[in-house]
Structure 1
Amino acid sequence: MKPQQIAPVESSTETHKQDAPSVSLFITLLILYSVVCFSIETIPDLSAGMRRFLWYSEVCVVGIFTIEYLWRIYTAENRLKFIFSFYGIVDFLAIFPFYIAPAVDLRTLRILRLLRLTRLLKLARYNSALLRFSKAIALAKEELLIFTVGSMVMLYLAAVGVYHFEHQAQPEVFRSIFDCLWWAVATLTTVGYGDIYPITTGGRMFTFVVLMLGLGLVAVPTGIVSSALSAIRQEQESKGSGKR
């Protein structure tokens, strides 16, 4: 029986030619510089000179990203497809807050400032390891979707279970299923904040079961993604050996 061939995972960046290493490095450093400036802006009592420097830095960064975005649209084989692709949307969101800020009252739309952090997603285009990871996620998306749905069901059942055991003993703590969901999240993820915990024998036994399930819950997606990464790496190595 012949081994099953792995179908190549298409990337939305394939609509463009491969960027030169120097350009990729420059954009990567620019993204990191932008994020550092964003963080510095949150420091209280900055001097007027520093705020002015950060403003001009933002203007320069946005200008370069805007040129890059327009260039990618111009050189794309299918421009509409690129605009609505993952990377096209990320590129747009990376510059959108700067242009929309003067037109709106950011006192009520300060969340737009956080969109600047989408520039970090641009790193996936310029880093081969991140590109392999994104391909692995795409390869295992069906398994991850099933796992996510199963996790949500397990989370709800855990909340219902602890509500059954603890509601009468701690009505002020486990008041409703929604309160119990917080306990279920902290327990299934094995974080265990300790701010809400069972005191009955049945509740503690149930918690033990949920904790054991939580250990597996953490391990399953790791195995799925690791297997997909291994498949992507083998595919790339086979392509590389075939070109020799």
Structure 2
Amino acid sequence: MHHIKNMVEVNNTKRSKFFAMFIQLLIFISIIIFSIETIPDLEPHTRVLLRRVDLFIVIVFTIEYILRISLSKRKLKFIFSFFGIVDLLAILPFYLSIGVDLRSLRAFRFLSVFRILKLMRYNRAIHHFTRAIRSAKEEILLFIFVTLILMFFSAVGIYYFEHEAQPEYFSSVFDSLWWAVITLTTVGYGDVYPITIGGRVFTFFILMIGLGIIAIPTAIISSALTKSMDRKGEK
């Protein structure tokens, strides 16, 4: 059991490295299969082959999931942890689809794409990123809260400027939220835009705020990543 634990857990042993590479390879293959299955008019024998390969991958992922639970000292903590949930979502769509028409379970089938999150367990760069996100979670939550307030403020402002001129687009604050989202994110699809002088001036200031909003999370995360790398260098 000790040898199995050393193999399954991420460490520097040859068995662990081989196991990690094997699982990562299967993850990439499963994502490719998921993508190929979306091709229309796929040959029936090709679909059968893809299903068989996917079955093998699911069996391996299931064995891995069971092993991780059995080897965990705190089983419930692992099951409800981030990686525990990801491991479950990686195999759950397959078992839900047994004996059921997949067309009625498209949403569950989509969960298969969560298999790519399993890569986070084996990638050191992603480990640094997740540590950076955790260390800056308070700043990120504050940024999200302020952004939501600005979004609501923008929706209210444009509603009062444009409601009378364009009642079909700005009939309420809730309808104005779409404009607020695409403006604050500087996407600007152009399907809804102000035509009044006041609305255009207001939009200018909202766009300026939006440019700052785009830059803030980048600065927060890059700073946290730098601190994470510095701590690694000190160790």
Could you tell me how far 1:208 is from its partner in structure 2? 0.5
- The Cα RMSD (Å) is 1.3
- 1:9 matched to which residue of 2? none
Encode CA deviations 1:151-209: one digit per residue, 9 max, x unaligned: 11110110010001001111112111122111111100000111100011110010010
Bigger Cα displacement from structure 2, 36-45 vs 26-35: 26-35
Rounded to whole Å, the distance in 1 between the matches of 2:123 and 2:45 is 34
Letter in structure 2 aligned against 1:172 = E
Encode CA deviations 1:85-142: one digit per residue, 9 max, x unaligned: 0000100110011111126554433200011011111111111111111111111111
- 2:21 matched to which residue of 1? 25
Equivalent of residue 158 in structure 1, options 150, 154, 160: 154
Bigger Cα displacement from structure 2, 180-189 vs 20-29: 20-29
Q: Aligned to 1:59, what secondary structure does the other structure show?
A: helix
Counterparts of residues 213-228 of structure 1 (less than 5 Å): 213-228=209-224
- 1:37 matched to which residue of 2? 33
Equivalent of residue 89 in structure 1, options 69, 85, 89: 85
Rounded to whole Å, the distance in 2 between the matches of 1:105 and 1:176 is 41
Could you tell me how far 1:78 is from its partner in structure 2? 1.4
Rounded to whole Å, the distance in 2 between the matches of 1:28 and 1:154 is 41
Residue pair 2:90, 2:112 contacting (<8 A) in 1 also: yes
Q: TM-score, normalised by structure 2?
A: 0.92
Bigger Cα displacement from structure 2, 89-98 vs 22-31: 22-31
Question: Once the two structures are aligned, what percentage of the paired residues are identical?
Answer: 54
Rounded to whole Å, the distance in 2 between the matches of 1:168 and 1:59 is 59
- 1:71 matched to which residue of 2? 67
Counterparts of residues 180-195 of structure 1 (less than 5 Å): 180-195=176-191
- 2:5 matched to which residue of 1? none
Q: Aligned to 1:109, what secondary structure does the other structure show?
A: helix
Rounded to whole Å, the distance in 2 between the matches of 1:137 and 1:152 is 20
Q: Aligned to 1:44, what secondary structure does the other structure show?
A: coil
Counterparts of residues 2-151 of structure 1 (less than 5 Å): 17-19=9-11, 20-102=16-98, 104=100, 106-151=102-147
Residue pair 2:183, 2:210 contacting (<8 A) in 1 also: yes
Which consecutive unaligned segments of at least 5 residues does structure 2 have? 1-7
Q: Aligned to 1:171, what secondary structure does the other structure show?
A: coil
Rounded to whole Å, the distance in 2 between the matches of 1:126 and 1:79 is 21
Q: How many residues align?
A: 224
Rounded to whole Å, the distance in 2 between the matches of 1:228 and 1:155 is 26
Letter in structure 1 aligned against 2:148 = M
Which consecutive unaligned segments of at least 5 residues does structure 1 have? 1-15, 240-244
Letter in structure 2 aligned against 1:113 = R
Rounded to whole Å, the distance in 2 between the matches of 1:153 and 1:171 is 24
Residue pair 2:10, 2:20 contacting (<8 A) in 1 also: no
Q: Aligned to 1:191, what secondary structure does the other structure show?
A: coil
Greater relative contact order structure (CA < 8 Å, 6+ sep): 1
Bigger Cα displacement from structure 2, 106-115 vs 140-149: 106-115
Bigger Cα displacement from structure 2, 96-105 vs 190-199: 96-105
Change (3 A) 1:45 1:17: closer
Q: Indicate yes or no: 2:171 matched with 1:171.
A: no
